[in-house]
């Protein structure tokens, strides 16, 4: 969602002292639904993401720096672009009581921008609090079938 699509709140001061009325305007195509109208499952997901946000971000940062170090540093290795987003969508495979499981493909600098296949794969588990690496399952040649 872009900033232009984010809801605008216009606060209108009422005629009574200390009264504020909030009016919400949705997206232009009318697809916005206020939180009270959305499904309960989507609200639950949002609450879970907000709750684990800091540990998730720490886990992404730790996993990225670990695979970079394991594979020779930034002068010889770049992880998949998904490791540079806060959600790590595509690289973060699961989150459970054991922690955050990442499968990260990577290669020589520029591999992804030039359209080359990755030549390295790393599978790494980061602790639930995002502060330590629990286990490195695999770090080697590219494998597309890791789960």
Sorted by sequence, the CB contacts under 8 Å of residue 114 that are 6+ apart come out as none
Chain CA centroid to CA 83, Å = 8
Q: What is the mean pLDDT of residues 92-101?
A: 95
Percent of the chain having pLDDT more than 90? 56
120 within 8 A of 141, measured Cβ to Cβ: yes
Cα gap 146→10, rounded to integer Å? 50
Cα gap 5→22, rounded to integer Å? 18
More confident residue, 40 or 86: 86
Confidence of residue 144 (pLDDT cuts 50, 70, 90): confident
pLDDT of residue 41: 54
pLDDT of residue 40: 54
pLDDT of residue 15: 42
Confidence of residue 2 (pLDDT cuts 50, 70, 90): very low
Per-residue pLDDT tens for 97-134? 999 999 999 999 999 999 999 999 999 999 999 999 99
Token output for 121: 């794969």
Map out the domains of the chain as residue ranges: 52-141
Per-residue pLDDT tens for 25-50? 444 444 444 444 445 555 554 455 55
């Amino acid at each position: 969602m872009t900033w232009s699509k984010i809801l605008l709140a216009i606060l209108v001061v009422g005629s009574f002292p200390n009264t504020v009325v909030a009016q919400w305007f949705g997206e232009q195509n009318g697809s916005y639904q206020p939180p009270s109208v959305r499904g309960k499952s989507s609200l639950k997901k949002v609450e879970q993401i907000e709750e684990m946000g800091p540990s998730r971000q720490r886990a992404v940062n730790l996993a990225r720096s670990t695979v970079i170090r394991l594979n020779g540093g930034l002068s010889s290795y770049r992880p998949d672009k998904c490791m540079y987003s806060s959600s790590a969508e595509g690289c973060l495979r699961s989150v459970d009581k054991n922690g955050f499981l990442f499968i990260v493909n990577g290669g020589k600098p520029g591999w992804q921008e030039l359209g080359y296949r990755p030549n390295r794969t790393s599978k790494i588990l980061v602790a639930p609090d995002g502060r330590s690496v629990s286990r490195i399952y695999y770090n080697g040649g590219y494998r597309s079938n890791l789960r």
